[in-house]
Amino acid sequence: MKEFNFKINGVEYKTAVNEIEAGITEVTVNGKTYKVEMEQKAAPKVAVAPKAAAPAAAPAVPAAPKAAAAAAAAPVAGGVQVKSPLPGSVIKVLVSEGQAVKKGETLLTLESMKMENTIAAECDGSVKQIAVAAGQNVMQGDLLIVLG
C-alpha cells in the first residue's frame, strides 16, 4: 500500500493506493475506498473535483525532449535528489538551474490521477540540475531535481 497526502485548493486529502490488479486498483480517499479502472488510452484533460467518483488514470502525454532524458540519466553528484513521490506527468517546472530556493518552495507541478501535486524543495539551496521537462511522464522514485 502506498499512502499520499494531497493538498488541493487548500484542502488536504489523505489517500492510499491499496492494490493494483488487472487494470483495476483500489484507492482510498479520506477513508472511503473506490475501485478505479485504469485505462491506457489518452483522455482529455478535465478538472475533477476531489469529491467526485473514483479518479481515472492520467492522460497520455507526448514524450519528453531528448535533452531532458539525457539529463535524467546522469544526475549531478553531491546534492539533495528530489524524486517523484508518485507516477505522473510533469505539468510545469517553476525553477531554473542556478536559482536559489528555500525549504518548502514549490519546484514543479506534477499531475497524477487528474490531480495536480506540488513538489517542494526539501531544503534550502540552489537548483544544481533539472532532470525533467514539462510534458514528461515520470514514475515513482524518478529523479526530478537536484538541489545543492
Q: The domain spanning residue 91 has which CATH number?
A: 2.40.50.100
pLDDT band at 33 (very low <50, low <70, confident <90, very high): confident
- Between 78 and 111, the higher pLDDT residue: 111
pTM for the model stands at 0.51
Is residue 8 a part of any domain in this protein? no
Pair 141, 119: CB distance under 8 Å: no
SS3 16: strand
- pLDDT, residue 73, reads 45
Distance (Å) of CA 104 to CA 91, 101, 107, 121, 126: 19, 9, 9, 5, 13
- pLDDT, residue 12, reads 80
Is residue 141 a part of any domain in this protein? yes
Which residues, at least 6 apart from 18, have a Cβ–Cβ distance to it below 8 Å?
Answer: 1, 25, 26, 27, 28, 33
- pLDDT, residue 36, reads 79
Is residue 46 a part of any domain in this protein? no
The neighbour count for residue 106, using CB atoms within 10 Å, is 13
- pLDDT, residue 7, reads 75
What is the arithmetic mean of pLDDT over 19-29? 76
Tens digit of each residue's pLDDT (9 = 90 or more) over 55-108: 555 544 444 444 444 444 455 567 899 999 999 999 999 999 999 999 999 999
- pLDDT, residue 97, reads 93
Count of alpha carbons within 13 angstroms of residue 100, beta-carbon side: 0
Structural domain for 77, as ranges: 66-147
SS3 71: helix
At residue 137, does pLDDT exceed 90?
yes
pLDDT band at 47 (very low <50, low <70, confident <90, very high): low
SS3 46: coil
What is the arithmetic mean of pLDDT over 21-29? 77
Is residue 85 a part of any domain in this protein? yes
Structural domain count of the chain: 1
- pLDDT, residue 30, reads 79
The DSSP line for 87-131 is -EEEEEE---TT-EE-TT-EEEEEEETTEEEEEE-SSSEEEEEE-
Pair 131, 71: CB distance under 8 Å: yes
